[in-house]
Amino acid sequence: MAMLVMAMMIMTLVVMVVVVMMVVIMMMVMMMVMMVVVMVVMMVVMVVVVMMVVMVVVVMMMVMMMVMMVVVMMVVIMMMVTMVVTMVVVMVVMMVVVMVVMMVTQKLWGAQQPMAARMDGSKVPSASMTRLMRSRTASGSSVTSLEGARSRSHTSEGARLDIVPNSGGTGSSAGPNSTEVSC
């Protein structure tokens, strides 16, 4: 009987060891499952964080691209405005220069040429034409000597152009009707 008790005790001990080992194995499996779950959760969290970071980076990049586009658009608009302002300034300066040239020309020609000659669009005679007209007028009338003296006195005052009609002094058209131009 002592053997039987001893065998029962050994069996009980073996069963207890097996139960403890099973509990330990179960705990180890549970710990491993928990570790796997924790690792999976950590990986998911990391993926989400990375995705969020990537999304934030992508959003930041998109915002930066939009800001750059706005800056580029502003620069283009400023360049266009600058070009328009420059063109307007150049046009105004050109108009002022043209007006000044016209005023100076009018001052120079206005004192030397009668208003009727300017208004009818007649051309101003060239230097060779004035010499030709002078020579014709001098040979055609005796009044030209008096007119020539007067025109020579004007040339000493400066380079003035006088256009004086030659009427012959009597009002009749007996002599050649010409115009004297002297420089």
Q: How far apart are CA 112 and CA 106, in angstroms?
A: 10
CA atoms within 13 A on the CB side of 24: 6
CA atoms within 13 A on the CB side of 92: 6
pLDDT tens string for the chain (183 positions)?
777 878 888 888 888 888 888 888 988 889 889 999 998 998 899 888 888 888 888 888 899 999 999 999 999 999 999 999 999 999 999 999 988 888 888 878 765 555 555 555 555 555 665 666 666 665 555 454 555 555 555 554 444 455 555 545 454 445 555 565 665
* 164 within 8 A of 151, measured Cβ to Cβ: yes
How much is the pLDDT for 106?
Answer: 81
How much is the pLDDT for 135?
Answer: 64
How much is the pLDDT for 67?
Answer: 92
How are beta strands 178-182 and 162-166 bridged, if at all?
antiparallel
Tokens of 89: 């300034």
Q: How far apart are CA 26 and CA 16, in angstroms?
A: 15
Tokens of 56: 């934030």
How much is the pLDDT for 65?
Answer: 92
Domain ranges of the chain: 124-182
- Rounded to the nearest 5 percent, the helix, strand and coil shares of the chain are 80, 5, 15
